[in-house]
Amino acid sequence: MPAANQALASLLHEMSQMLDLLGEDSFRASSHARAARAIEDLPHDIASMDRKQLLEVQGIGPKMADKILEFAATGEVKEHKELASRVPPGLLMLLQIPGLGPKIVRAMWTQCSICDIPSLKKCIDDGTILGVPRMGQKQVNKIKAAIALAEQGQQRLWLGRAYALAERFASRLRELPMVERVEPAGSLRRGRDTVGDIDILVAIRPGHDHEAAQIGEAFRTTPGVTQVLVAGDNKSSVRASLNFDVGRWKRTVDEGEQGPTIQVDLRVLPLASWGAALMYFTGSKEHNVRLRERALKMGMTLNEWGLFPEDDEKTPPQARGVKPVAAATEEEVYAALKLPYIPPECREDRGECDCNTPIRLVEVADIKAELHAHTTASDGQLSIEELAEAAKARGYHTIAVTDHSRSSAVAGGLTVERLLTHINAVRSAKVKGITILAGSEVDILADGTLDYPDDILKQLDIVVASPHAGLTQDPPTATARMLKAIGNPYVHIVGHPTGRLINRRAGLSPDLAAIIKAAQEHDVALEINSHWMRLDLRDSHVREAVKAGCKIAIDCDVHARDEFDNIRFGVATGRRGWLTPELCINTWDAERLHGWLKSKGGR
């Protein structure tokens, strides 16, 4: 996303929150939030759009268009400043605390003069906070715990870390005899690049309802649990340590230090409502609302217990023994709503409910080639043969050896002489049943030129061009840099196009629409780097690229044997962008893939 879009989106988001806090028209507030989301999804730099183009975007009307134009011209929005002068800045922080919404924060502000976390703590300590309506001791206890967490600097957890943690709980639960099904839900199941907490759903085997307590017990005693928050029969919540057994990313922790934790929730359900519950807990919220709205229009009502006929009674249908129209599987609930099955990765209310035909998305099993991998020649851990054997063991027909180029000195980048030697070594390496390609991951230098001259590049079977340094460039410079690289006739794939590291650095913010258009025109594939710290391209970029018909490569950027497993995260990101096998070059058969590679640069 262009940097200006991100900045404007957060500014509009703040405006929305400030309008809520001031108690102004709530529809004005949600309009700002909607516009912020629309701008986050835009592939174009808002600075390059005129009023007419802006008005075509759903959720942007005349007033919002003026604000966007003002921001593009001056870098600020007057109305935002006016609102900010009326709302203490600390109040926005308070909204981050789970359980505190705009109404309660507003009440705390107007009645107790609470304007930030310190003054909130003071009012908790002296008890004056209990004077706020709907604020009792239980609420206060929750808020206290939430503040403690907020002060630890909680951030959303990387998908790869969350997956490993969820699997640790899930595999323990799957072993229990009274357990029928286990499935992590929430944003983890939707494959978002980061997750806020982990929800695990368990269906109890019919006739074993009385054994539910044992499931909760097993869950709460899973190694790595540091604290039990809720211990009911059908619902448990714990905090689990991230430092415990997370493979090679394990950090050293001082004795006694707890380190970062994440909340993990368990819900135990009857098998009969499994589908409806799985849908509810998978979300997204926006997708759920869309489905429930649709159910209403069809004379039904949808909740986490099932899809029921609407009967205008006040009490929930499941409490009255009403038989659901559908509930046991997600497939039957979607079918009853006259929708094709919607894959979890697409459940974001981004048009998936308007699509009448099932979308055949790329799957892990479709992937037949890894086109970005490193060996001991640069910073990888495997030899050429070991790498090829590992790829073959996964059923791949092709592995590309793409070690770093000379400018990536810290990563052991190859000089031209070493590269030529390496090409020979790759070409003489033979592993039966798999094609080993001689390639390079060539640095895209800050000015957009590549790290090897063209006469070297054309000797390679495959060229992955990636940005590694100069990742703080301004957007126009970054755009020009990437466009220049894409224009090089020897480039096949642009590797991790923005260079972001999730939770670490933002990376480049080029005009993605321009990059995608150029890639499509020059027949260059854009990479989804599957490492969970990168996931770059990100989901929204993939969606735009797919719309434009741009080719996509999903690669693991393999440095070690177990990194092939990261493919699931890259594929999930692709699926979030509605990527089909056809546009994903890693799914092509050997003949088609090799033919395409050879068609470039007059090879």
Partner DNA sequence: ATGGATGTCCATGCCGCCAGCATTGGCGG
3-state secondary structure of 553: strand
Query: Rounded to an integer, what distance in angstroms lies between the CA atom of residue 527 and that of residue 399?
Result: 15
Q: Determine if 82 is a binding residue for DNA (CB under 7 A).
A: no
Q: Which of 17, 237, 273, 303 binds DNA (CB under 7 A)?
A: 303
CB of 91 to DNA, least distance (A): 12
Q: Which of 52, 86, 134, 248 binds DNA (CB under 7 A)?
A: 134
Q: Determine if 320 is a binding residue for DNA (CB under 7 A).
A: no
Q: Which of 51, 78, 174, 285 binds DNA (CB under 7 A)?
A: 285
- Alpha helices (H) along 244-284: 274-282
Q: Determine if 139 is a binding residue for DNA (CB under 7 A).
A: yes
CB distance 151 to 166 below 8 Å:
no
Q: Determine if 137 is a binding residue for DNA (CB under 7 A).
A: yes
Pick between residue 283 and residue 413 the one whose CB is nearest to DNA.
Answer: 283
Largest CA distance in the chain: 79
* Residues between 28 and 57 with contacts to DNA, criterion CB under 7 A: 28, 30-32, 35, 55, 57
Phi-psi region of 330 (alpha: psi -120 to 50; beta: other; left: phi over 0): alpha
Q: Determine if 542 is a binding residue for DNA (CB under 7 A).
A: no
Q: Which of 274, 280, 334, 588 binds DNA (CB under 7 A)?
A: 280
CB of 601 to DNA, least distance (A): 45
Q: Determine if 286 is a binding residue for DNA (CB under 7 A).
A: yes
Residue with structure tokens 């500014």? 11
CB distance 337 to 285 below 8 Å:
no
Pick between residue 100 and residue 486 the one whose CB is nearest to DNA.
Answer: 100
Q: Determine if 127 is a binding residue for DNA (CB under 7 A).
A: no
Q: Which of 1, 238, 276, 295 binds DNA (CB under 7 A)?
A: 295
- Alpha helices (H) along 152-211: 159-174, 186-189
Q: How many residues bind DNA (CB under 7 A)?
A: 56
Give the burial class of 583: count Cβ atoms within 10 A of its Cβ; 0-12 exposed, 13-18 middle, 19 or more buried: buried
Length of the chain: 603
Measure CA of the first residue to CA of the last residue in the chain; give whole Å.
34
Pick between residue 135 and residue 462 the one whose CB is nearest to DNA.
Answer: 135
Q: Determine if 321 is a binding residue for DNA (CB under 7 A).
A: no
Torsion of CA 128, 129, 132, 135, to 10 degrees: -130
Query: Rounded to an integer, what distance in angstroms lies between the CA atom of residue 507 and that of residue 486?
Result: 18
Query: Rounded to an integer, what distance in angstroms lies between the CA atom of residue 371 and that of residue 531?
Result: 14
CB of 315 to DNA, least distance (A): 8
Q: Which of 51, 63, 174, 320 binds DNA (CB under 7 A)?
A: 63
* Residues between 6 and 25 with contacts to DNA, criterion CB under 7 A: 25
Pick between residue 98 and residue 475 the one whose CB is nearest to DNA.
Answer: 98
Spell out the residues 6+ positions from residue 494 whose beta carbon is closer than 8 angstroms to its own: 444, 464, 465, 466, 482, 485, 486, 515, 519, 524, 525, 526, 527
* Chain positions contacting DNA, by CB under 7 A: 25, 27-28, 30-32, 35, 55, 57-65, 98-105, 133-139, 186, 196-197, 280-281, 283, 285-286, 288-290, 292-293, 295-296, 301-304, 310, 316-318, 349
